[in-house]
């Protein structure tokens, strides 16, 4: 395995976590961050025709959640935030106050978007792990 690739994915228990074939024996500690990549096509330089290297397809950024002797469970550590929701409410006054002319009250509220853990998209067994 190339020096750039620290470990390999050996299991994908759910869409937010992966298990790799390195653990406490290789000094992995809880909270340590990694990048999961799969290998794609070889990139060829169009000017020279030289084969540069295989394209690394980023699955996601993860951090060590549980470390065993020879394996470690890594969980996604990236978040996606849904966009804010802007609400504008216009209330027209009725009854006694209406005699003084139309009384409109405009209320503007912004509901902040929610943060969700990003899924490790397309991770599969054999994908590579890069130390960050």
Residues that bind another protein (CB under 8 A): 4, 35, 37, 40, 43-46, 52-53, 55-58, 83-86
Q: How far is the CB of 79 from another protein (least distance, A)?
A: 15
Q: State how far the Cα of 105 lies from the Cα of 89, in Å rounded to an integer.
A: 8
Q: How far is the CB of 17 from another protein (least distance, A)?
A: 21
Degrees (nearest 5) of the Cα angle 113, 119, 123? 165
Q: How far is the CB of 39 from another protein (least distance, A)?
A: 11
DSSP 108: E
**SS3 state at 99:** helix
Nearer to another protein, 44 or 91 (CB): 44
Nearer to another protein, 87 or 92 (CB): 87
Strand partners, 127: none
């Amino acid at each position: 395995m190339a020096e750039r690739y620290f470990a390999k994915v050996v299991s994908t228990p759910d869409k937010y976590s992966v298990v790799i074939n390195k653990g406490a024996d290789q000094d992995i500690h809880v909270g340590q961050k990694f990048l999961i990549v799969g290998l794609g096509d070889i990139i060829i330089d169009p000017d020279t025709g030289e084969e540069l290297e295989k394209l690394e397809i980023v699955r996601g950024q993860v951090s060590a959640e549980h470390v065993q002797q020879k394996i470690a469970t890594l969980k996604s550590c990236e978040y996606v935030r849904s966009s804010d929701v802007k609400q504008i409410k216009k209330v027209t006054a009725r009854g006694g106050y209406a005699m003084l002319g139309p009384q409109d009250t405009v209320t503007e509220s912004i509901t902040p978007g929610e943060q969700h853990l990003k899924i490790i998209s397309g991770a599969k067994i054999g994908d590579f792990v890069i130390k960050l």
